[in-house]
Structure 1
């Protein structure tokens, strides 16, 4: 990977209708088997408040993506891809927001490229071992070479709770990415970040959590935040794993408060 070309991810660059001054962009990074669609409610709230929003599709997740033949999907290579687009388009450090596996990519980026990250928000995520039941479900599907409809429905229910048929169709499109990408990113999600990564993050860090998250219990996230004074926790009552989808207004308010108090850093 060191000598190969790092592919630039697809990015939807969204500009607010009424910009609120020189705002630092919010860069949203999706989780495993997910995509840009589940960011839409939060992105609208941020745009309405005058914040530029960049929604990233990680390598291989955007329809029609063609990855280099020697590209190996890992947290490091995904973070390098995000870093490459920030090098190309950002005019300074940005506010990075990563959900679930996207949080692992975001942590990896913040540790490796601190100059790119003004702040870091982990949504529904703390870098602790995955739920064993979840890992067993993933391994069974990876072994059979495809994700069956029953397993997809089970996972979606754990992530979102009950969905309408239309929302199920829209939100499950992440399972339609090429299986080599889906399987490699699943392994990355299960493995998680290298143990030294969180301690190397210099940026202010917020964990944004739903109190009813069935994937990452709130206690795990509280314990992670308690390890450093640089970390904060905002718990959103009644929300689950996809707190940004379920409670976009509350999430937008928490993010703006965090950004306004953490950036720019004190002189």
Structure 2
């Protein structure tokens, strides 16, 4: 899947002070206009539970990233980038956790490279038609050639609800990525996975959804999960789109319970 022209993502490897004895790392893949900072609460809960955590910054999202001039940002190329990082570091299948657009990258990865995925968890995401209001807002910004401050605030409020000024500043740093990266990954987020992808994913799959998600309504998640016995849903009452930020303890408990009771299908 990967080749020499695929840039490796930045990987922040974190190991627990006391290991739970489970060597399989959890690989956290962020969504559109996001980054590693919003994984911090969940990562800390997983580390406290003795789990190794890898936090990835997708191509172009890490400060100082210099992408090859011919690199085209798509779900396939982003998944190939993640695959290259796993090939270089993992030494075996990993637990992939993708939020929002990162879930689309994760599904694409699991379909193309089942050998590197032990389990897959989609957080605030299911491969269903995109929210039309969200698409309209993004399209308007792509047409004008930049993301204005009013739109950033509108999107952040939809994703997180009310935030303090400090958290708004901290969590909106994903918008600091270069506009070509933001625009291309926005198109990838809006387009979603190729229709055959979900059916080609055979790893155990968990969807973690906030019941108050305004981007991906939980009813859509339920329909997706019901289509396969290999899929599970964990609904977190009162949480929104960034359930891992809002309810990290419940999210971590759902992940660990899923990992401990799931086994990948035979090769």
**Shorter-normalised TM range:** over 0.9
After TM superposition, the structure 1 stretch with the greater mean CA deviation from structure 2, 182-191 or 19-28, is 19-28
Shift of 1:22: 3.4
Deviation at 1:202, TM superposition (A): 1.1
* Alpha carbons 2:202, 2:265 under 8 Å: kept: no
In 2, distance between residues paired with 1:194 and 1:91?
A: 28
Show the counterpart of 1:129. Answer: 129
- C-alpha separation in 1, matches of 2:150 and 2:186: 18
TM-superposed CA distance for 1:263, in Å, is 3.0
The answer to whether the aligner puts 1:76 opposite 2:71 as a matched pair is no
Give the alignment of 1:152-171 within 5 angstroms.
152-171=152-171
Within 5 Å, give how 1:1-267 maps onto structure 2: 5-263=5-263
**Unaligned runs of at least 5 residues, structure 1:** none
Q: Could you list the per-position Cα deviations for residues 240-266 of structure 1 after superposition, in whole angstroms to 9, with x for gaps in the alignment? A: 000000000000000000000003668
Deviation at 1:91, TM superposition (A): 1.6
Residues 82, 266 of structure 1: alpha-carbon distance in 2 compared, 3 angstrom cutoff? closer
Deviations 1:28-61 (A, max 9, x none): 0000000000000000000000000000000000
**Offset, 1:158:** 0.3
Deviations 1:135-168 (A, max 9, x none): 0000000000111110000000000000000000
TM-score by length of 1: 0.98
Contact between 1:124 and 1:207, CA under 8 Å: does it hold in 2? yes
Instruction: Give the superposed CA RMSD.
Output: 1.5
Instruction: Tell me, in whole angstroms, the C-alpha distance in 1 between the residues paired with 2:3 and 2:174.
Output: 29
Give the deviation of 1:217 after TM superposition: 0.3
SS in 2 for 1:208: strand
- Report if the CA contact (8 A) 2:119-2:264 is conserved: no
Contact 2:2 2:81 in 1 (8 A): no
Shift of 1:20: 1.2
Inter-partner Cα distance in structure 1 for 2:222 and 2:11: 32
Matched residues, number: 267
Identify if the C-alpha distance between structure 1 residues 45 and 3 changes in structure 2 by more than 3 Å, giving closer, same or farther. closer
In structure 2, distance between residues paired with 1:262 and 1:179: 39
Deviations 1:103-137 (A, max 9, x none): 00000000000000000000000001101111000
What is the deviation of 1:4? 5.6
The separation in 2 between residues aligned to 1:208 and 1:77, in whole angstroms, is: 25
Give the TM-score of the pair, scaled to structure 2: 0.98
